[in-house]
Structure 1
Amino acid sequence: MRVREIKEDQRRVLVVVCDRDEEAVATLRDAIREYDIRAAQVTAVGGFRSGELGYFDPNVHDYLPIAIDGQVEVLSLLGDVAEHDGRPELHVHAVCGRRDGSTIGGHLLRGEVWPTLEVVLTEVAPSLAKRFDPEIGLALLTPDLPG
């Protein structure tokens, strides 16, 4: 992993380049904790050699696995970082393109990077937080907005 912190006005931008063979989710979690990123928007492009996406099933309150079973292009990776139980947590979704042009998408559970994953985390309002909704079974974004 290679990381560069850029400060613009009052917010930071963290550029994380995940190297080949790194596991993307673990690497990004390490970076946001090391740099104390509490609230951010996440975007990325790159590639995975293998991994797993998830589809949230409301009936079982859990993610159903979707295998990434070979080389794919990460066409879009979007999400956020927000506090949950006092710790910054990563929540990202990915759309991955296969060689034949078909795509798969879902919540990124795990991704083995190949050859790279270029990630930009842009810090946002520090009051961004997630709270667990027991009815749904997920921690959901609940920005503390005035009024």
Structure 2
Amino acid sequence: MRETLIHAAEGQKVWALILEQGEEAMACLKAFAARERLSAASFKAIGAFSEADLSFFDWESKRYEPIPVREQVEVASLTGDVALEPDGTPAVHVHAVLGRRDGSAAAGHLERGLVRPTLEIVLSEAPAHLRKRKDPDSGLMLIASGG
């Protein structure tokens, strides 16, 4: 992964992160968030994957259902955030829309994505902290109101 700090002022930083063929998107994002000690950030990206694993949260079962994608796809939209887990570690939450050759799409939570040929991410860190808490209705770790 190549990275460039493209803006830094008043506690806000913006990076361009360029992932290369063969890199795994979630692993790179998690490693970057941990290394930079991100506590509140958002990002968006475009590019392509050779394959990916998405998931869908089923409200009734309170479980994520897998959506395997075993083909070359365009990353039509990838968006996410970084907040802190209760233990203070950064949590990376990513949604993706992946376009197939025929124009159809697969969408969901990104669990894993193998980059081919590139993934271009713009990540903005905010000068604040976002904390997650366990939501009693869903059992999910969600960003708490008011940070």
* TM-score, length basis structure 2: 0.92
Q: Distance in 1 between matches of 2:14 and 2:118?
A: 19
Which runs of 5 or more residues in structure 1 are unaligned? none
Q: Which runs of 4+ in 1 moved over 6 A?
A: none
- Matched-pair identity in %: 44
Give the corresponding residue for 2:123.
121
Aligned residues: 145
What is the CA-CA distance between 1:19 and the residue it aligns to? 1.0
**1:34, 1:45 → 2: CA distance?**
23
Equivalent residue runs for 1:20-99 within 5 Å = 20-85=21-86, 86-99=88-101
TM-score normalised according to structure 1 size: 0.92
- The Cα of 1:144 is off from its aligned counterpart by 2.3
What is the root-mean-square deviation in Å for CA atoms of aligned residues? 1.3
Output the CA distance in 1 between the equivalents of 2:102 and 2:74.
Answer: 11
Match of 1:144 in 2: 146
Unaligned segments of structure 2, at least 5 residues: none
Distance in 1 between the 2:81 and 2:139 partners? 18
Tell me the distance in 1 between the aligned counterparts of 2:89 and 2:68.
28
Q: How far did residue 30 of structure 1 move?
A: 0.4
Give the whole-Å Cα distance in 2 for the aligned partners of 1:29 and 1:58.
26
Structure 2 CA distance, aligned partners of 1:29 and 1:127? Answer: 17
Per the alignment, residue 15 of structure 2 pairs with 14
Query: Does the Cα contact within 8 Å between 1:127 and 1:143 map onto a contact in 2?
Result: no
Bigger drift between 84-93 and 5-14 goes to: 5-14
Decide whether aligned partners of structure 1 residues 116 and 140 sit closer, same or farther in structure 2, where only a CA change above 3 A counts: same
Counterpart code for 2:99? G
Moved more, 9-18 or 70-79: 9-18
